[in-house]
Structure 1
Amino acid sequence: MTPQERYKKLKQHLSEENPVLLDVIKRYETLDAIAHSHGFLDPEDTYTAHISWWPLISILGTFSSGKSTFINQYLGMKVQSTGNQAVDDKFTVICYGTNDEVMTLPGLALDADPRFPFYNISEEVEKVDAGEGSRVNLYLQLKTVRSDAVKGKILIDSPGFDADSQRDAILRITSHIIDMSDLVLIFFDARHPEPGAMRDTLEHLVGAAISHRDANKILYILNQIDTTAKEDNLEDVIGSWQRALSQKGLVSGNFFAIYSEESMVPIEDAALAERMKRKRDEDLRQIVERMDKVGIERAYRITKALEDFARDISDRKLPALQKALAGWAARVAIVDAVLFTLLLGGIGVLEWQFGFVTTVASSPLTAVAGMALLIGLMLFLHFKARNFVARRIFRKLEAGDPAVAAAFAHNTRWYRPMVRAKMTGWVKRAQNRLEEVIAQSKRAIRELNDQYVSPSGRRHGEES
């Protein structure tokens, strides 16, 4: 799908949903044009393909933490298998479908479709585990369900993280979906809240989540709290769980405790049962409310991502590119000087030994031919020097930031004049355009606020 085709589909999708986002798409087109012109983005790529335009909820956790049961209850139908073993060992993307029966499709359906958050994920897997990128079906599957609860949004159920044999690839995908998601639910098992039993999950889930710039979108859920009823120590269990999280650096967050009535342990003490039910109902209400309103968070995420992409180019990529080009030009100038000195020295030796220059200059025809040959040889050596130095710098850049490396290669092609490398005007013009995109992103945030916030007490669209 070309960027133009993707823009067309996105505009059709959002034209009736939210006019603010429709305007944001136009700003993404401007951003793409800047990135394409400087080589930061492949001509067939677009920044809109690096984020999910559908509200996205990810559900992570250990085996037997109740993720599947929670998903089934939220959807109102059995979609995911439940049990104490690793019954679902893949990332499962769940979206609305028109068939009455649940349809299961292979991971290839996600990897090859830009409408889904796992588009081209095989490339990410390949980076950390060579050869595994072509086996994407081992990691992903798509399920379509006819449930109103999932209309207009996508759910992702993760495999458990206990003793997984394909750790690196799983973690790469997990980091990817945390970045892409509007809401992340991390489930823990109340039967094993102590740090020793959950150390692995804390290391790989919480450690990645707390470093995310939008930590508010992550909910930490202690599931199956009904198992604490026998000792009546719910508060102790929750306290132990939070202490375990704080040891990994999580000192604040959205904490919830729930259980499933369908699979709960019977609670004989009526007062205790009522107390736990009130706790469960309130926490569950807040969780479901966040899930149902994820579309609002999606609108803000997409708009903020526009600003983040623009700032990344302006503040980091452009200066890095300018520095690399200036270094390239300086090194080429040195190599040119050395090569030309050697060339002229060689000609001098030939003149001294054989009278080479005098012989060539004795005839107008040979003088012109000799001059043309000399100029041609100097140009040949110059472009060889350009290419040699560029390749060395490119390899260093590629190890740090492939996008900057690609832009460097784009700007050092043989037909690009080297004088541009020493000019700062083109950088300033690009940064000015990026500042306009950032300003437009902030304006879009204010327009989104106007849809949901009204300090004056007037409704959106109501005249003063």
Structure 2
Amino acid sequence: MPSSSSASSRTDSLEAHLKRENPLLLEPLAEFRRLDAIARRMGLLSGGDSFTRRVPWWPVVSLLGTFSAGKSSFINSYLDTDLQRTGNQAVDDRFSVICYGDDPEPRTLPGSALDADLRFPFYRISGDIDDVAAGEGQRINNYLQLRTCHSENVRGKILLDSPGFDADSQRSATLRITDRIIDLSDLVLVFFDARHPEPGAMRDTLEHLVAKTIQRDDASKFVFVLNQMDATAREDNPEDIVAAWQRALASSGLTAGRFLRIYDEKSAAPIEDEALAKRFKAKKDEDLAEIHRRMKGVEVDRAYRVVELMTSAADTLAGDEGVGRLRALLGRWRGRTLIYDGLVLIPVLLACAAAFFWAGAATRGVLATLFSGTLPGWLLLAAILIAAGVVHCASRRLAAGQLGRTIGPASQQPFDMDIRRAFRANTRWWRSIFSTHPKGWSMFARRRVAKIRNKQETIVRRLNDRFTQPSG
């Protein structure tokens, strides 16, 4: 298991990165470190873990959708280079993480380069993959790759190109990575192929990329892109194609929002009708400009989102999903332990009492009966107390084991908090079952978390001073 020193070195590396790229995020990073220290004392994080691993410190733009929807062509056009392979079939079955590189020649690095670097959004993703597909985490290079590109359009941000969503939609590990991408992205471009508007063939995509986004607090970061629109120029009414897709999305529950309609001019077939070609190009240019504007805006959005995540982590730690849930579990453990103690100890004590009276305690007194045998009375009392202690320890372990099995793994908890680990730390034999506060949740910790939560407004004002002029 990674040590706290290794976690510190990783955050030191992240700090050096932020000093160069975005110094405004150094203050949230310092608060995350304080949250880490509290969570480790409570057992909610291991010595080598950190809340920062769930925070993408670079702005992330993700491109999801079906194969042949034109995601790779869009990336190549945006970067003005032939970085990604393109084709009408699934040409790559791995997620490509694209970032800026100083070398003019593109480089392709294995997925392990992402799994071990805190600065990237897939830090320790191999553990998450193992949780849903045992052993697959060791094959991280089969799922991810890191690609560098010497293009100013990608400097300071990350692009994520996904494999065709319906090309391998049954693999649980792929779905886990997709969910991780959605959670960490600042902007999600969901591509659909205008040439294939059959909602039946898109059921899995619509379910995972549309239906599950409706109730999200950050649903505004999803942009639906209808690509390859040039192919509809041969239709009598291209608007019917758009309407068919809108009905498909409505069938999945999405009644708001709209499609942005684009195509790649370089690979598009010529449109013979000049007026129609002009109309298609104007609409494409308008929607493409909006996509580029949204992509550029993620650099500003990221700073605010990191601050929101800082506050969210503090709220989660101190709230119902952190301390609150731990207290509830400890309350159930306490009650169950006392029940088990009672079920065993009460009959034993009653049997001892009956034996005392049978031995003459009723006529000679309890003390006289205890000290009238061959063994000293204090030894008998000590044996009874030891037996009671053994029974109590067994009751504690039994109750803790039963409740511990009901707690999901850390990867299923908010911010990867290890509730199970913290619960076990609070049920060690030396901790009283009547303790009022979970381990590590002291008055100092409560005050520290409250200060972190209250810092959001101060940091947001500093961000506003940089990006806006509210005073005119």
TM-score by length of 2: 0.88
Q: Does 1:152 align with 2:156?
A: yes
Match of 1:180 among 164, 181, 184: 184
Q: CA deviation at 1:111?
A: 2.2
Is it true that 1:388 corresponds to 2:392 in the alignment?
A: no
In structure 1, the residue matched to 2:364 is none
The 3 A distance-change label for structure 1 pair 218 and 172 is: same
Q: What is aligned with 2:338?
A: 333
Does the CA contact (< 8 Å) of 2:304 and 2:463 recur in 1?
A: yes
For 2:131, the equivalent position in structure 1 comes to: 127
Give the 3 Å change call, closer, same or farther, for CA 295–70 of structure 1 in structure 2. Answer: same
* 1:409 equivalent among 424, 428, 431: 424
Q: Does residue 469 of structure 2 align to residue 454 of structure 1?
A: yes
CA distance in 1, matches of 2:336, 2:240: 66
Tell me whether 1:204 sits opposite 2:208 in the alignment.
Answer: yes
Match 1:253 to one of 248, 254, 257: 257
Q: Give the Cα–Cα distance (whole angstroms) in 1 for the partners of residues 440 and 397 of structure 2.
A: 25
**How much has 1:396 moved relative to structure 2?**
1.9
Q: What is the alpha-carbon distance in structure 2 between the residues aligned to residue 423 and residue 39 of structure 1?
A: 10
Aligned residue identity for 1:388? L
2 CA distance for matches of 1:423 and 1:337? 25
Evaluate the alpha carbon distance shift between residue 456 and residue 364 of structure 1 in structure 2; reply closer, same or farther with a 3 A threshold: farther
1:61 and 1:201 in contact (8 A); partners too: yes
Where structure 1 has 5 or more consecutive residues not aligned to the other structure, the ranges are: 458-464
Equivalent-residue separation in structure 1 for 2:331 and 2:213 (angstroms): 38
Structure 1 partner of 2:7: 3
**Aligned match for 1:215, one of 216, 219, 225:** 219
Partners of 2:432 and 2:128 lie apart in 1 by 35
2:384 corresponding residue in structure 1: 374
**Which residue of 74, 94, 105 corresponds with 2:109?**
105
Shift in Å at residue 352 of structure 1? Answer: 5.4
* Alpha-carbon distance, 1:102 to partner: 2.2
Secondary structure class of the residue paired with 1:188 = strand
Shift of residue 425 of structure 1? 12
Matched, 1:140 2:144: yes
The Cα of 1:318 is off from its aligned counterpart by 1.9
C-alpha deviation, 1:172, in angstroms: 1.4
Alignment pair present for 1:313 and 2:328: no
Provide Cα deviations, 1:417-436, integer angstroms capped at 9, x if missing partner. Answer: 22214899958875554333
Give the 3-state SS of the residue equivalent to 2:418 in structure 1. helix
Amino acid at match of 1:341: I
Q: CA deviation at 1:42?
A: 2.1
Say if 1:192 and 1:198, in contact at 8 Å, map to a contact too: no
Counterpart-to-counterpart distance in 1, 2:238 and 2:351: 89
2:76 to 72, 85, 88: 72
Deviation at 1:78, TM superposition (A): 1.1
SS of the residue corresponding to residue 418 of structure 1 reads coil
Deviation digits for residues 213-252 of structure 1, max 9, x if unmatched? 2112111111111111122533322222222212212222
Change in CA separation of 1:254 and 1:291 when aligned onto 2, cut-off 3 Å: farther
Post-superposition Cα deviations, 1:144-165, rounded to whole Å, max 9, x if no partner, equal 2222222221111101023426
Identity of aligned residues (%): 47
Q: In the TM superposition, what are the counterparts of 1:15-54 in structure 2 within 5 Å? A: 15-54=19-58
- Matches of 2:224 and 2:262, distance apart in 1: 11
Question: Which residue among 434, 438, 441 is the counterpart of 2:453?
Answer: 438
Q: Secondary structure at the match of 1:187?
A: strand
1:115 Cα deviation after fit: 2.4
Distance in 2 separating the partners of 1:407 and 1:131: 26
Matched AA of 1:90: R
Partners of 2:261 and 2:283 within 8 A in 1: yes
SS in 2 for 1:15: helix
Distance 1:398 1:85, change over 3 A: closer
Show structure 2 runs of 5+ residues with no match. 362-366
Write the distance in 2 (CA, Å) between the matches of 1:202 and 1:331. Answer: 45
Tell me, in whole angstroms, the C-alpha distance in 2 between the residues paired with 1:425 and 1:190. Answer: 56
What is the alpha-carbon distance in structure 1 between the residues aligned to residue 234 and residue 347 of structure 2? 89
- Return the alpha-carbon distance in structure 1 between the equivalents of residues 255 and 450 of structure 2: 35
Tell me the secondary structure at the aligned position of residue 185 of structure 1: strand
SS class of match (2:435): helix
- Which structure 2 residues correspond to residues 56-67 of structure 1 after superposition, within 5 A? 56-67=60-71
C-alpha separation in 2, matches of 1:268 and 1:78: 28
**In structure 2, distance between residues paired with 1:165 and 1:404:** 31
CA distance in 2, matches of 1:199, 1:340: 59
Q: Which residue of 2 aligns with 1:397?
A: 407
Q: Residues 351 and 358 of structure 1 are in contact (CA less than 8 Å); yes or no, is this contact kept in structure 2?
A: no
Change (3 A) 1:254 1:49: farther
* 1:405 shift after superposition: 2.6
**Structure-2 separation of matches of 1:63 and 1:203:** 16
Distance in 1 separating the partners of 2:443 and 2:326: 13
TM normalised by structure 1 equals 0.90
Q: Residues 423, 21 of structure 1: CA spacing in aligned structure 2 closer, same or farther, 3 A cutoff?
A: closer
C-alpha distance in 1, partners of 2:439/2:131? 35
Distance 1:295 1:41 in 2: 29
Following superposition of structure 1 onto structure 2, how do residues 260-339 of structure 1 map, counting pairs within 5 Å?
260-316=264-320, 317-339=322-344
1:226 and 1:265 in contact (8 A); partners too = yes
- Which residue identity is paired with 1:101? E
What's the secondary structure of 1:414's corresponding residue?
A: coil
Structure 1 residues 363-390: Cα deviation after superposition (integer angstroms, max 9, x where no partner): 9993443333333222222222111111
**d(CA) in 1 for partners of 2:41, 2:134:** 32
CA distance in structure 1 between the partners assigned to 2:44 and 2:291 by the alignment:
39
Q: Which amino acid aligns with 1:386?
A: R
Question: What's the C-alpha RMSD, in Å, of the aligned pairs?
Answer: 2.8
Aligned counterparts of 2:22 and 2:43: Cα–Cα separation in 1: 32
